[in-house]
Structure 1
Amino acid sequence: MTDSEITELMKNSPQQGHRALFDEYYSYVYAISVNILRGPASQEDIEECVIDAFASVIKKFDISSVTALKPFIGTVAKNKAISMRRSLTAKAGIIISIDSEEFREPASDECIDRNAENSVMTELLLQRIKELGEPDSTIIIQKYFYERNAKEIGRMIGMKHATVRMRCARAVKKLRSLLEDSDKEE
């Protein structure tokens, strides 16, 4: 079933549309949840995350503003899984006393500084990517973070691959300009 068929079904019969949405995208949401929650989560936690993601998609879904379902659903699923992972790791966190033999000092101050600097740079980069707006931010993230090609991205967001390539090139130039402006501000 295509996105437009699901959207039309959701307009005419929300319950059937929600069921079709679930049937079509369950495997996709499940795969995202498993990839992010692998390790700290049980099977029940993963299934709960999938259900929470679909509940959130149905609650936040606006037929007039969402043009492509897959990126929207993927983003919601990713955010739910990340949130659950944080929650699970915080609950499972073991507090170690400084006096304990298990407590280890960091190997090097340089590593901590470098990690902090990389974290700040990554945050700035993601912030500037968001400033590009849609669909350019999605194109950049899919291309450079998930290593997808123009055809795959085009299918995801409903554009021709040539258009995706052209928008990507323009977005990279604009992103470079935004990052240079950030350097000048500091």
Structure 2
Amino acid sequence: MTESELNDMLKHSPDEGHRAVFDQYYNYVYAVTLRILRGTVSMSDIEECVIDTFADVMLNYDPENGGSLKAYIGTVAKRNSINMMRKSNRKSFNTVSIDSDDFGEIVSGTNVEHTAENRNVSEALINAVKALGEPDSIIIIQKYFYDRKSSEIGKIVGLSPIAVRARTSRAMKKLKNILADFC
């Protein structure tokens, strides 16, 4: 079923439309959620996050908006998964009672140096991708962050899939040079 058919169904019969959206995108949402949360939370938490994603979509998606339903669902799934991971990480920190006379050394599971280095690398990468300019930056983000195919990206930026692949190749070479200057 196409997105336009799903949007029409959501407009005319919301209950049937929500069921069709669930049936069509369950595997997609589960894959996005699993990729982000694997190894950090239990499988029941992952399933809960998937259900929360569909609840958010059903409550907040406006079929009149005209945006991409799949992109909206993917974004909601990603954000819900990241929020669940953050909550899980907050719960996993060790706590020490204030009433205790012996505080000892509080050890964090976080490697501050590694975290700071990752943040610097992430910022450099984002700045390098932005420096590519449009449409190359859009193509790189859609290809490697959203894992979209060349045909899907071509529809977004108004290019043929062949042109998208060629621009991706050239943009990756530019990106390599920009990042080599950084390092």
Give TM-score, length-normalised by structure 1.
0.66
Q: What secondary structure sits across from 2:15 in the alignment?
A: helix
Q: Deviations over 1:21-59 (max 9, x none)?
A: 011001110111112111232222111101111111122
Shift of 1:5: 0.9
Q: What secondary structure sits across from 1:41 in the alignment?
A: coil
Equivalence for 1:86: 86
The one-letter code matched in structure 2 to 1:150 is S
Q: Distance in 1 between matches of 2:119 and 2:163?
A: 32
Equivalence for 2:42: 42
Taking every aligned residue pair, what percent have the same amino acid on both sides? 46
The 8 Å contact of residues 129 and 137 in structure 1, kept in 2 or not, is answered as: yes
Q: What secondary structure sits across from 2:62 in the alignment?
A: coil
Q: What secondary structure sits across from 2:89 in the alignment?
A: helix
The one-letter code matched in structure 1 to 2:69 is L
Equivalence for 2:104: 99
Question: CA distance change for structure 1 residues 123 and 56 in 2, over 3 Å: closer, same or farther?
Answer: farther
Structure 1 gaps, min length 5: 180-186
Q: Distance in 2 between matches of 1:81 and 1:40?
A: 11
Equivalence for 2:116: 116
1:12 is aligned to 2:12: yes
Q: Deviations over 1:122-149 (max 9, x none)?
A: 247548979x9x9986533232346654
Give TM-score, length-normalised by structure 2.
0.67
CA-based RMSD: 4.3
Moved over 6 A (4+): 127-130, 134-137, 155-159, 166-169
The one-letter code matched in structure 2 to 1:52 is D
The 8 Å contact of residues 70 and 156 in structure 1, kept in 2 or not, is answered as: no
Q: Distance in 1 between matches of 2:126 and 2:152?
A: 21
Q: Distance in 2 between matches of 1:152 and 1:42?
A: 33
- Aligned residue-pair number: 171
Q: Distance in 1 between matches of 2:12 and 2:40?
A: 40
